[in-house]
Structure 1
Amino acid sequence: MAAALHIYFRELQVHYFRLHLIVAATSATFALAGCETMKGIDTQSLTNVGGTAVKAMSLSDGDIVTMSVESCAAMDQKNKTAAASSDYAKRLDQVVKGMPATINGKSANYKVYLTEEVNAWAMANGCIRVYSGLMDLMNDDELRGVIGHEIGHVALGHSKTRMQTAYAASAVRGLAGATGNSALKALSESQAGELAEKFVNAQFSQSQESAADDYSFDLLTASKLERKGLVTGFQKLAKLSAGSAPGSSLMSSHPPSETRAAHMQKRLDKGG
């Protein structure tokens, strides 16, 4: 337990350090740019840019949920979503039966994106998106394992941290409204879409991935659902990552899929 807490606080320190680097880098950039570059720029807007990174760490749960609602809506608009009458949607409805209807008090909302990419993610507002490429790759038990993993990231607070990081990483985009350039102002208006992309493409830490794996295992155990899919699912991801398939946060995450499969198998062998 002490070792786990040590790792957690160490990663929290790293997270804070990264946010401070964002603020420092923003300030340094304009210091080097010189006064000519600063002409015509709203200095109050520049102050807000640096403040964005700092504010990220103080975002409330309500702020995170609101940002998740907007980000999820932006992703839904960008991607082709399977109709409720489609085979993909019907299959997903069957797969999630017996799984939580709420996460941290928020209703779980499942949809399928029609894309060959192998991925899935969940946000703090209960928005859970599964890609058809993942569904084509995995059987129902394996899909439940992945979905349980994504639910774990939300339930354990990882998705909140991920959104904070995404928010801080997009802080420089606030410069769009500081230059008076209409094209840049349009970029500012697309903040929700940009934030969503940064959230989806961000990676969790090693301890967060492992914790979400264990959460999924425990969730499936409590729900009396098959857990072997957690082993075979990671084995499939390991083979896929070794090939020429498109990149995916599921495959690029750490620890390696082979290690995660072995850990799940070890828990199965011990009877949970």
Structure 2
Amino acid sequence: MITRRQSLFLMPAALLTPQAFAFDLGQAIGAAKGATAAMSLSDDDIRAQSRRMAEQMDAKAPVAPANSPYAKRLAALTATCREDQGLALNYKVYLTREINAFAMADGSIRFYSGLMDMMTDDEIRYVVGHEIGHVQSGHTKKRMQVAMSSSAAQQAAVAAGGKAGALAQSDLGELFVKAVKAQHSQSNENEADDYAMKFLSRRSHDRRAAVTALEKLDKLSGGGKADWLSTHPAPRDRAERMRQQLA
């Protein structure tokens, strides 16, 4: 179970259910057949499927309306960041107390209001840079490919007629839940943090926000690694890496 403390950069299961993604498998992964085809999907294919996922999530989630204080704040903070090195970006806020944010390979970035409540403006900008870093470094694409090459996807992709449709209804939602919820490795998290530091520098924002944001998360996690997978760096360790870069 993902707790409130564990939820940063992970999509909680409460908002991502199989029922939320009941669309035809043939439309979702086209002619992909098995692990090899899934791993060879083009960037355009991955972005197209990510866009579908974002649309499905937005339809099920409590999205903040444009006149919401949360939506207005995020729009102001990202007014000059609607594109990053060729990647078009779009943002929304989900009205939930969960502390979370995530990005899709198509440039869709979603913040939870619980995270915005605890972060300063520059700390939110750090999170934006971190999430973009996962996309630009190919981490998000890789997770999509791995999910699509799982046994459920392989079986569904090679099935024919009604059988394929049945698998799409019963298995595809869970498959995409795994794609978004999967934790990044330690090296991926560090790479995304490094990208965030460069992101802040390019836009003349305060890079110290990376340290303070991670220190806040460290307090939530109790200052240790007990609640984190071995491949997920503790906020304290990540904050120290960022502090060393500042020095």
1:229 aligns with 2:209: yes
Q: Counterparts of 1:224 and 1:77 in 2: how far apart (Å)?
A: 35
- Consecutive unaligned residues of structure 2, counting only runs of 5 or more, are 1-31
Residue number in structure 2 paired with 1:66 = 48
8 A Cα contact 2:35 2:154, kept in partner: no
d(CA) in 2 for partners of 1:143 and 1:109? 15
- State the AA in 2 paired with 1:101: R
For the structure 1 residues 225 and 67, does the alpha-carbon distance in structure 2 shift closer, same or farther, using more than 3 Å as the test?
Answer: same
* Deviation at residue 162 of structure 1 after TM alignment: 1.4
How far apart, CA to CA, are the structure 2 residues paired with 1:173 and 1:80? 33
Q: TM-score, normalised by structure 1?
A: 0.69
Q: CA RMSD in A?
A: 2.9
Q: Does 1:147 align with 2:128?
A: yes
Number of the residue aligned with 2:196 = 216
TM-score of the aligned structures, taking structure 2 as reference length: 0.76
Q: From the two aligned structures, give the one with the greater helix fraction.
A: 1
Contact 1:103 1:126 in 2 (8 A): no
Residue of structure 2 aligned with 1:91, choices 69, 73, 94: 73
For the pair 1:163 / 2:141, whether they are aligned, the reply is no
The 1:164/1:187 distance shift into structure 2, 3 A limit, reads same
Secondary structure of the structure 2 residue equivalent to 1:242: coil
Question: Aligned-pair distance for 1:149?
Answer: 0.2
Aligned residues between the structures: 213
Deviations 1:161-202 (A, max 9, x none): 111122223526729967967xx9456147764444222201
In structure 2, give the amino acid aligned to 1:260: R
Counterpart Cα distance in 1 of 2:158 and 2:216: 43
Shift >4 Å, 4+ stretches = 175-181, 184-187, 190-193
Q: Where does the alignment leave 5 or more consecutive residues of structure 1 unmatched?
A: 1-49
Can you list the C-alpha shifts for 1:220-271, whole angstroms capped at 9, x where unaligned? Answer: 011101111110111111111229xxx8xxx7672211010011111112xx
Say yes or no: does 1:256 pair with 2:234: yes
In the aligned structure 2, how far is the partner of 1:175 from the partner of 1:60? 17
Which fold has the larger relative contact order, with Cα–Cα distance below 8 Å and residues 6 or more apart in sequence?
2
Q: 1:52 to 1:151 in 2, by over 3 A?
A: same
Identity of aligned residues (%): 48
1:73 and 1:166, CA in 2 relative to 1: closer, same or farther beyond 3 A?
same
Task: Write the distance in 2 (CA, Å) between the matches of 1:62 and 1:175.
Answer: 19
Answer yes or no: is the 8 Å Cα contact 1:176–1:188 preserved in 2: no
Corresponding residue to 2:185 among 179, 198, 205: 205
